[in-house]
Structure 1
Amino acid sequence: MKPFAKYKAFLDLHHQSGPFVLPNAWDAASAKAFQNCGFKAVGTTSAGIAMSLGYPDGEHLPFETLLSVLKTITDAVDIPVSADLEAGYGQSPETVTENMKKAAAAGVVGINIEDGTKDPCRPLCDATLMEEKITAVKKLNLPVLINARTDVYWLNADDPGSRLQTAVRRANRYRQAGADCIFIPGADDTGTIAGLRKGIFGPLNVLAGSNTPSLQILSEL
């Protein structure tokens, strides 16, 4: 399947009538195993890739090394591959766009960009900077789906009573900037996911965990 066809297939999976499960691979073997199990697409895990190579998560893995791993994964499977690129491996929109070009050249048709800073005193970046990154990547017109991640829940970045409102506000700003879908890890209970689904326009991704509602409930939401 050619890159644009993979991109279109991945985009369509985000607009089908029910949810789809995207497993996270950390190397070519795991990606191929997921494909053989019948998954329609595969994502990559930044933590899994980094730790498998002896690095901690958080953009400590050299970007060129990451690109090499992504290429081995995309070469190993025929299904769409979406890459977790953390905060884009760059602070400026210009650096991030250059990195996105390289990721697309490695064969990925989806990218995650997150707004976490890894700074406990200021866990989330300014939403305007995140918007600028997304807009800059969108202007490249690459056959790549932009999955904008906000870490409001993952990092407990706001007062508990304000997290839903903050997450919805950031998510909709990222969508307006050009993100194709939104990813909100850490939101794992039915009430929170329902609130997010009601407030956010466009596709919504959540991270599966022990408390995540069943696929049936997610479909109903």
Structure 2
Amino acid sequence: MTDTLAGRAEALRALHRPGDPLVLPNAWDAGSARRVVEAGYPAVATSSSAVAESLGHADGEATPPGEMFAAVARVARAVAVPVTADLERGYGLRPVELVERLLDAGAVGLNLEDSDPRTGRLADAGAQADLLAEVRAAADAAGVPVVLNARIDVFLGSGGDPAARLTEAVRRATRYLAAGADCVYPILLADPAALSALVAAVPGAVNALARPGAPAVSALAALGVARVSFGGGLYAAARAHTDRLLRVVRAGGDPFVADQSAASG
């Protein structure tokens, strides 16, 4: 089992290619994960917000860890490609237990945030680097080179000097990569010039978020990113589509006709 997981981890890591990024339309359950693979994607990522809402919880570590890992396990059992899990800030678990539960679920990669999911307050960069180093050491001890994606949250929220935020993001990215992260994820950074500057300044792979108002995947590739995530975007789009069909039913209409009309339009 460890050999299989190690092979999947290496395969996942190899998919992070600057300029030819790994594209991850994030899944939230076994069914959506299967559809991602059937569409031709070589790996599956979960979205913490999408998984949480699909389980009836709010985002921000409101999901009991057991439920989150069970959902990740269902995803991993459903597909034959590497799975990477969004685990927020680790649910307060010790790094050894976090890695153990990740591998028991069959996943070989994880996201970790550097802000408190409940308050949004940024963690001290040194403390976060220590956490990442402990996760890396736990993965090494388990014999699986887990792909560690370190999220950088300095661009969350509004306000602040853009240049100062970029400087802080580069500082954190450099520390996190030195601590053992494989990839850094400056979530919500969408300005092409700033993203290009960050890619050029950090010695490792960069993950960008695809969302409305952000550069298209092809443009992100041209900027040199190595990974593109959709976060909870596909889940939100599916939810919005379901809401529209429910309104059609409520109004006495035919949701199947409405669905076909939307598709043809």
TM-score by length of 2: 0.77
CA contact (8 A) 2:111 2:149 kept: yes
Q: Which runs of 5+ in 2 are unaligned?
A: 224-265
Tell me the distance in 1 between the aligned counterparts of 2:102 and 2:85: 8
Residue 206 (structure 1) shift? 0.7
More helix by share: 2
Deviations 1:187-206 (A, max 9, x none): 01211211111111110001
1:30 is matched with which residue? 32
Larger RCO: 1 or 2 (CA < 8 Å, sep 6+): 2
CA contact (8 A) 2:43 2:82 kept: yes
2:214 is matched with which residue? 212
Larger Rg: 2
- Which residue of 130, 133, 136 corresponds with 2:131? 133
Deviations 1:33-64 (A, max 9, x none): 00000001111000001111111001110001
Residue 123 (structure 1) shift? 1.7
Q: Partner amino acid for 1:162?
A: A
Deviations 1:128-151 (A, max 9, x none): 111111111111213310000110
Q: Which moved more, 1:155-164 or 1:7-16?
A: 155-164
- Which residue of 38, 46, 49 corresponds with 1:47? 49
Secondary structure of 2:162's counterpart equals coil
Q: Which moved more, 1:16-25 or 1:146-155?
A: 16-25
Tell me the distance in 2 between the aligned counterparts of 1:44 and 1:187: 20
Residue 215 (structure 1) shift? 3.0
1:18 to 2:17 alignment: no
Secondary structure of 2:111's counterpart equals strand
Tell me the distance in 2 between the aligned counterparts of 1:195 and 1:139: 30
Question: When the two structures are aligned, how many residues end up with a matched partner?
Answer: 217
CA contact (8 A) 1:116 1:125 kept: yes
CA contact (8 A) 2:60 2:118 kept: no
Q: Partner amino acid for 1:217?
A: A
1:176 is matched with which residue? 178
Residues 1:178 and 1:14: Cα distance change in structure 2 (over 3 Å): same
Residue 99 (structure 1) shift? 1.6
Tell me the distance in 1 between the aligned counterparts of 2:69 and 2:218: 36
Q: Partner amino acid for 1:177?
A: A
Tell me the distance in 2 between the aligned counterparts of 1:47 and 1:119: 13
Tell me the distance in 1 between the aligned counterparts of 2:78 and 2:118: 36
CA contact (8 A) 1:7 1:144 kept: yes
Tell me the distance in 2 between the aligned counterparts of 1:62 and 1:208: 28
CA contact (8 A) 1:113 1:148 kept: yes
Deviations 1:77-119 (A, max 9, x none): 00111000101111xxx71331221111111010001101146
Identity percentage of aligned residues: 38
TM-score by length of 1: 0.92
Tell me the distance in 1 between the aligned counterparts of 2:208 and 2:94: 27
Residues 1:138 and 1:158: Cα distance change in structure 2 (over 3 Å): farther
Tell me the distance in 2 between the aligned counterparts of 1:155 and 1:4: 37
Deviations 1:168-213 (A, max 9, x none): 0001000001101111110012112111111111100011012222
Residue 17 (structure 1) shift? 5.3
2:244 is matched with which residue? none
Q: CA RMSD in A?
A: 1.8
- Which residue of 66, 69, 73 corresponds with 2:68? 66
